[in-house]
Structure 1
Amino acid sequence: MSSNGMDDMASARVSTWRLVAYSLAAIPLAMAALPIYVNVPKFYADVIGVSLSAIGGLLLAARVFDAVQDPLLGYWSDRARDSRFGRFVWVLTGAPLLAAAMLGLFNPPTLSPNAMLWWLVSMLVVVYTAFSMLQISYQAYGAEISDDPIERTRIVSFREGFGLIGVFVAAALPQVLTSTFGAREGYALFAMIFIPFVLILVGITVWLSPPRKTRASVERQGAWANMVLPLKNKSFKWLLWVFVFNGIAASIPATLVLFFIEDVIKAPAQSGLFLIAYFAAGAAGMPLWIWLSARLGKARAWLIGMLVSIVAFVWAFMLGAGDVLAFGVICVMSGLGLGADLALPPSMLADVIDEDESAGLGRNEGAYFGLWNLVTKMNLALAAGIALPVLAALGYVPQGANSDASLTYLAATYALLPCVLKAVAALVLVFSPLMRRRSSDHFGRATRLI
């Protein structure tokens, strides 16, 4: 590589301590996300006594409402970009709201069954709204830090790596607290501990994050035109289809994992360790995906990650009671594939936005990440809103006297269906123009993680 190329690469790199400051906010975001997706169904079913089908329906309804507002939040984020506080005005607004709503969600009052349903859906709506306020502007800001494609992967990897710290905390802390203080009190304590985490770490991120790149001003569009602008980008539409199938494939196991561990593996006490092993493997594998993406291209590296996940995870269908070690190995191997899902798609999204800038449309990161988050949440909503009621209709009862057939249905939904969906995502990626992109982010360049 020429000395000029080396100088360009060095100048493109963001200082590590600034990236650490930016990435700190990912910890409380992950601490909120994992319990919302994984613990809420089980907490309200086992502890509060809400029926599984009702929980699935409420999660779907709340997610649909939440998803619809995401493009609008993205539009408002873009409008705030050039203001005094920039996108971070939404980050600062969302953080205290998220703290209060998490406390309400995991420390509900004693109510009648019907009133509890209204409480659950109300808290879900507030949590989702606050989470979206924070996350969309936070991710959009990250896409503005650097124009270098490889550096974008480094930025995303830092953010997602710190997010995995939050996942570890969210996976282990509720289990420790509930085993010590009981389920209801333990989850309430978790929500109380979450409050200083989100307020302090988000504050550091806002204060010390690296500055964003200055962008040329473009003519502002109306809200609707801004929200649908990403759908005019051909590369984005291909990326979105891959993301949809891959996202649903990931969301189904996230919704069902605690039920699978308790009723199929029969090892509920090990659930925290399984989750930690899965996400730790994802964190450990992230440098590999950065390295592969710099040499093979981001799309090819992501494809390899999908194949690794399928080959590892499909074996979960064969497991039964007591297969703790085997499931632990599956968690580690499929967790390696998770690293690709975390690091590469958001980095590819930032690259796709370059096409708008080249066409004179400016960069509307808020619009793209708003729609991106909409799809993410619809994936989760479909996973909960379809998988849980279907399993209930097939006779599966959490912690109940389930027949062999109902446990087989649970195992098939948990392990086989996601592999089929991920295989579809891989096929869409193979035939997409994303595999044929030729740019400096795909070939011949390497970067260090730190």
Structure 2
Amino acid sequence: MTGAPRLPAFGLFAAMLAAAGLPLYIHAPKFYVDEYGVSLAALGTVLFALRLLDVVQDPLLGRLAARLQETRAVSVAVAVLTMAAAMVGLFAVEPLFAPLIWFALMLTLVFSSFSYLTICFYAEGVSSAGQLTGQGHLQLARWRETGALLGICAASVAPVLIGGYGGFALAFAVLAGVAIRAMHREWRGARVDSGGTGFLTVLRDPVARKLLLVALFNAAPVAVSSTLFLFFVESRLQAPGWEGPFLLLFFLSAALAAPFWGKFAERAGERRVLLIGMVLSILSFGSAVWLGAGDTWAFGLICLASGAALGADMTLLPALFARRMADISPGASEAFGLWSFVSKFTLAFAAVTLLPLLEAGGFEAGGANGAEALWLLSLLYGALPCVLKLLAIGLLASIDFGERSVRG
């Protein structure tokens, strides 16, 4: 296949992929608590256990992506269809056996497909960006991450807009079919390292290692807020019914801001602009600690500002990592298995720690909660992300992008 990549196709595929990622951590736990009475602690444990599975399977999926290089379009289509079927099973099908086990099985299919698709998609992006004129990695990142944010926007509010979670799952299946069709000509069989050395290449490189740590601590605040968002709006703000509008405002703000962060970074440099976005995120999250019942307008402003900050995170940090991969190992698809694992691990770790902690602190989803339980919810939702962001800022500021890769 020749010719420049079609960037809108990358944006659409990213939207589909993102709709199956972060929104699951927003919707699935509360859905299974409300519909089937599964405990928060049990759900958090399952989510974390599935992420431990990724430690084993992500390297294998990276190697599989390398071996299926010549038939990548077909393997991607199979993975997308598997993920769509599992989403329908998760939300639109009554569990065929114990709800917790059904939850675990469907999520295993979703997460495994998600991992494989992320590895293929980002590896293909590194190759395709090299065919663009100018700062190709930033151009592709703007389309890809803006598409991802729009996908998250749609998935976050879909249960409210299209008749519940069953409608959301069916709409996702339709989006999956459209994404397969739009992207099928863009799988160009980019050269990949079939020797299974991609992980080692990344881990030996000091800059790549630090970028992965930045990604870990930088993604954790969004993981925390996503895990607790519905509970915070319902119980702390006492604003049931506002969840959809707030989620839409948050992710739409991120999507609209992402192209501007990218343009700004082309002039001022990715790291400098990313640091500005991270400081904005701290100011936003910190303000949420002091909110109480009825503070809906104030929380709307926080959603607007923190969403704009997320646009910088999702556009610039992947672009930095992709650029480094283009320099040290352009064919290492396994490297993007690490990137995928880091982002998913933060969501799972947030679930396994925060949900049981809330339950132990006396918080009851949908019930009457005392002042101490609500204060704990506020601290976890607003203060903890600030601490994590500060760690990410320190790590990002310490990176010397002139360091050479350590070969071995």
Which TM-score tier does this pair reach, normalised by the shorter chain?
Answer: over 0.9
1:378 correspondence with 2:345: yes
Distance apart, 1:296 and its partner CA: 2.2
In structure 1, what is the equivalent of residue 184 of structure 2?
206
- Which of structure 1's runs of 4+ aligned residues deviate more than 4 A? none
Residues 382, 417 of structure 1: CA spacing in aligned structure 2 closer, same or farther, 3 A cutoff?
Answer: same
Match of 1:388 among 335, 355, 375: 355
The DSSP-based 3-state class of the residue aligned with 1:22 is helix
Match of 1:71 among 49, 59, 66: 59
In structure 2, what is the equivalent of residue 269 of structure 1?
241
Match of 2:319 among 325, 347, 353: 347
Distance apart, 1:111 and its partner CA: 5.9
In structure 2, what is the equivalent of residue 298 of structure 1?
270
Distance apart, 1:227 and its partner CA: 3.1
Residues 292, 188 of structure 1: CA spacing in aligned structure 2 closer, same or farther, 3 A cutoff?
Answer: same
Give the conservation status (yes or no) of the 8 Å contact 2:123–2:332.
yes
Amino acid in structure 1 at the alignment position of 2:356: P
In structure 2, what is the equivalent of residue 233 of structure 1?
205
The DSSP-based 3-state class of the residue aligned with 2:175 is helix
Give the conservation status (yes or no) of the 8 Å contact 1:93–1:133.
no
Match of 2:13 among 25, 29, 38: 25
Q: Tell me the distance in 1 between the aligned counterparts of 2:359 and 2:134.
A: 46
Q: Tell me the distance in 2 between the aligned counterparts of 1:88 and 1:388.
A: 39
Match of 2:82 among 92, 97, 102: 97
Match of 1:399 among 357, 366, 372: 366
Residues 153, 392 of structure 1: CA spacing in aligned structure 2 closer, same or farther, 3 A cutoff?
Answer: same
In structure 2, what is the equivalent of residue 167 of structure 1?
152
Match of 2:331 among 359, 364, 371: 364
Give the conservation status (yes or no) of the 8 Å contact 1:23–1:205.
no
Q: Tell me the distance in 2 between the aligned counterparts of 1:337 and 1:90.
A: 35
1:328 correspondence with 2:328: no
- Range with bigger deviation, 152-161 or 30-39: 30-39
1:290-345: CA deviations, max 9, x gaps? 12211222111111110111112210001011111000000001111111111111
Distance apart, 1:36 and its partner CA: 1.1
Give the conservation status (yes or no) of the 8 Å contact 2:198–2:335.
no
Residues 35, 281 of structure 1: CA spacing in aligned structure 2 closer, same or farther, 3 A cutoff?
Answer: closer
Structure 1 vs Structure 2 CA RMSD: 2.2
In structure 2, what is the equivalent of residue 88 of structure 1?
73
Distance apart, 1:70 and its partner CA: 1.6
Amino acid in structure 1 at the alignment position of 2:325: I
1:121-160 aligned at under 5 Å gives the runs: 121-147=104-130, 150-160=135-145
Distance apart, 1:122 and its partner CA: 0.9
Q: Tell me the distance in 2 between the aligned counterparts of 1:62 and 1:328.
A: 33
Q: Tell me the distance in 1 between the aligned counterparts of 2:313 and 2:332.
A: 20
Residues 343, 140 of structure 1: CA spacing in aligned structure 2 closer, same or farther, 3 A cutoff?
Answer: same
The DSSP-based 3-state class of the residue aligned with 2:21 is helix
Give the conservation status (yes or no) of the 8 Å contact 1:88–1:138.
no
Give the conservation status (yes or no) of the 8 Å contact 1:56–1:385.
yes
Amino acid in structure 2 at the alignment position of 1:100: A
1:347-389: CA deviations, max 9, x gaps? 11111113325xxxxx234111111111111111111011111
The DSSP-based 3-state class of the residue aligned with 1:25 is helix
Matched residues, number: 400
Give the conservation status (yes or no) of the 8 Å contact 1:90–1:133.
no
Residues 157, 410 of structure 1: CA spacing in aligned structure 2 closer, same or farther, 3 A cutoff?
Answer: same
Q: Tell me the distance in 2 between the aligned counterparts of 1:226 and 1:138.
A: 16
Match of 1:307 among 266, 275, 279: 279
Normalising by the residue count of structure 1, what TM-score does the alignment of the two structures yield? Answer: 0.84
Distance apart, 1:71 and its partner CA: 2.3
Give the conservation status (yes or no) of the 8 Å contact 1:22–1:206.
no
Amino acid in structure 1 at the alignment position of 2:394: L
1:414 correspondence with 2:381: yes
Normalising by the residue count of structure 2, what TM-score does the alignment of the two structures yield? Answer: 0.92
Q: Tell me the distance in 1 between the aligned counterparts of 2:116 and 2:334.
A: 13
Q: Tell me the distance in 1 between the aligned counterparts of 2:36 and 2:138.
A: 42
Distance apart, 1:132 and its partner CA: 1.6
1:36-51 aligned at under 5 Å gives the runs: 36-51=24-39
1:251-272: CA deviations, max 9, x gaps? 1101110100000111121111
Gap runs ≥5 in structure 1: 1-12, 179-185, 358-362, 438-450
The DSSP-based 3-state class of the residue aligned with 2:242 is helix
In structure 1, what is the equivalent of residue 171 of structure 2?
193
1:119 correspondence with 2:102: yes
Distance apart, 1:110 and its partner CA: 5.1
Distance apart, 1:14 and its partner CA: 4.8
Q: Tell me the distance in 1 between the aligned counterparts of 2:55 and 2:363.
A: 29
Residues 130, 44 of structure 1: CA spacing in aligned structure 2 closer, same or farther, 3 A cutoff?
Answer: same
Gap runs ≥5 in structure 2: 404-408
Give the conservation status (yes or no) of the 8 Å contact 1:72–1:227.
no
1:107 correspondence with 2:75: no
Amino acid in structure 1 at the alignment position of 2:107: L
The DSSP-based 3-state class of the residue aligned with 1:269 is coil
Amino acid in structure 2 at the alignment position of 1:168: C
The DSSP-based 3-state class of the residue aligned with 2:289 is helix
Which has the higher Rg, Structure 1 or Structure 2?
1
Q: Tell me the distance in 1 between the aligned counterparts of 2:158 and 2:285.
A: 26
Q: Tell me the distance in 2 between the aligned counterparts of 1:272 and 1:162.
A: 19
Give the conservation status (yes or no) of the 8 Å contact 1:156–1:346.
yes
Distance apart, 1:190 and its partner CA: 1.8
> Percent of aligned pairs with the same residue?
37
- Range with bigger deviation, 381-390 or 282-291: 282-291
Amino acid in structure 1 at the alignment position of 2:83: L
Distance apart, 1:398 and its partner CA: 0.5
Distance apart, 1:274 and its partner CA: 0.6
